Amino acid sequence: KAGVTQTPRYLIKTRGQQVTLSCSPISGHRSVSWYQQTPGQGLQFLFEYFSETQRNKGNFPGRFSGRQFSNSRSEMNVSTLELGDSALYLCASSLEARPNTEAFFGQGTRLTVV
């Protein structure tokens, strides 16, 4: 069974631009969560999607948004990029959107804002 796939692996963007990241969950998994990983803040929860609905949202500005498609694939978008948005963006795939459910991470997308 294929694991969680994130594309692209690396991105370099300029301040003010926008970016879209993609995540394909493990086949059969319906929940996708996104996390931002930085050296200073560790892994911070961005949002979670299940059955095309946002179930939960972290404490990030409205520039960060996401969506989920009917095949469970998810995208996240960051508009008006800032230098501080440089980070590793990880998505995690779970069978269900409830506590006690194992979450499996993708390789991440390394975003650099210059």
Partner 1 sequence: GENVEQHPSTLSVQEGDSAVIKCTYSDSASNYFPWYKQELGKRPQLIIDIRSNVGEKKDQRIAVTLNKTAKHFSLHITETQPEDSAVYFCAASSPYGGATNKLIFGTGTLLAVQP
Q: Which residues bind partner 1 (CB under 8 A)?
A: 4, 31, 33, 35, 42-45, 48, 50, 55-56, 58, 90, 92, 94, 96-108
Length of the chain: 114
Q: Enumerate residues 6+ apart whose C-beta is below 8 A from 108.
A: 6, 9, 37, 88, 89, 90, 91
Q: How far is the CB of 57 from partner 1 (least distance, A)?
A: 9
Q: How far is the CB of 18 from partner 1 (least distance, A)?
A: 25
Minimum CB distance to partner 1 smaller for 14 or for 28:
28
Minimum CB distance to partner 1 smaller for 42 or for 62:
42
Q: Are 21 and 9 in contact (CB under 8 A)?
A: no
Distance CA 105, CA 25 (A): 9
Q: How far is the CB of 83 from partner 1 (least distance, A)?
A: 22
Could you say which DSSP state residue 84 is in? G
